[in-house]
């Protein structure tokens, strides 16, 4: 429900930002991001399919560095995904690549869309049985930079695939905040 509210808020804000330039000025607090480093965190909820577990909750933590020196363009960093539900616990860490595009290039607005991919090592425990795995995940991120310091983001769809000797996958969504420097 909160994710739907955040998506509606971002969509409403984007439609207002697309109004005629003389009718709508961008507040200085919502200008483009000028800093290359970003740390993000937030809750993630997902549901497994295939041989994966059912519903799961997790914390999403990632660090990204943008090669252009600002909030736009290619970024490389590290993602950590940790959490669980009932009889399931998971921890994953690996490199993450994201490419941030301005959603409204004609305006000085810090609203970005960033498709991301990540892969790495995962440790999972299901019904007290430990599994070591390779994981890969992908999805889009919508983010808004505020005061060139705060970052608010949503990942409406994230696909997480794991190989433990057998294949399992999950899809989920996340929202969160972060800082830039």
How many angstroms separate the first and last alpha carbons of the chain? 31
Report domain extents, the chain. 2-180
Beta bridge partners of 174: 44, 155
Please state which CATH number belongs to domain 2-180. Answer: 2.40.160.20
Report which of 76, 82, 90 is spatially closest to residue 162, judged by C-alpha positions: 90
pTM over 0.85: no
Tell me the CA distances in angstroms from 155 to 78, 110, 152, 166, one per residue in order: 16, 17, 11, 27
- The enclosing H or E element of 178 equals strand 167-180
Model pLDDT for residues 2-48, shown as the tens digit of each residue: 555 555 455 555 555 555 444 468 888 999 999 999 999 999 988 87
Report which of 6, 77, 54 is spatially closest to residue 171, judged by C-alpha positions: 54
Model pLDDT for residues 40-91, shown as the tens digit of each residue: 999 998 887 766 555 678 899 999 999 999 999 999 999 998 987 777 788 9
């Amino acid at each position: 429900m909160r994710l739907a509210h955040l998506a509606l808020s971002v969509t409403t804000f984007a439609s207002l930002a697309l109004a005629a330039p003389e009718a709508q000025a961008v507040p200085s607090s919502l200008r483009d991001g000028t800093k290359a480093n970003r740390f993000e965190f937030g809750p993630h909820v997902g549901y497994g399919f295939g041989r994966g577990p059912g519903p799961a909750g997790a914390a999403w933590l990632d660090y990204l560095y943008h090669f252009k020196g600002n909030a736009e363009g290619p970024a490389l960093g590290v993602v950590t995904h940790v959490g669980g539900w009932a009889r399931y616990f998971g921890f994953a860490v690996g490199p993450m690549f994201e490419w941030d595009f301005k959603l409204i290039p004609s305006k000085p607005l810090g609203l970005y869309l960033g498709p991301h991919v990540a892969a790495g090592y995962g440790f999972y425990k299901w019904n007290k049985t430990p599994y070591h795995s390779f994981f890969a995940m992908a999805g889009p991120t919508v983010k808004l930079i505020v005061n060139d310091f705060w970052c608010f983001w949503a990942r409406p769809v994230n696909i997480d695939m794991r190989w433990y000797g057998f294949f399992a996958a999950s899809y989920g969504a996340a929202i969160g905040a972060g800082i830039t420097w």
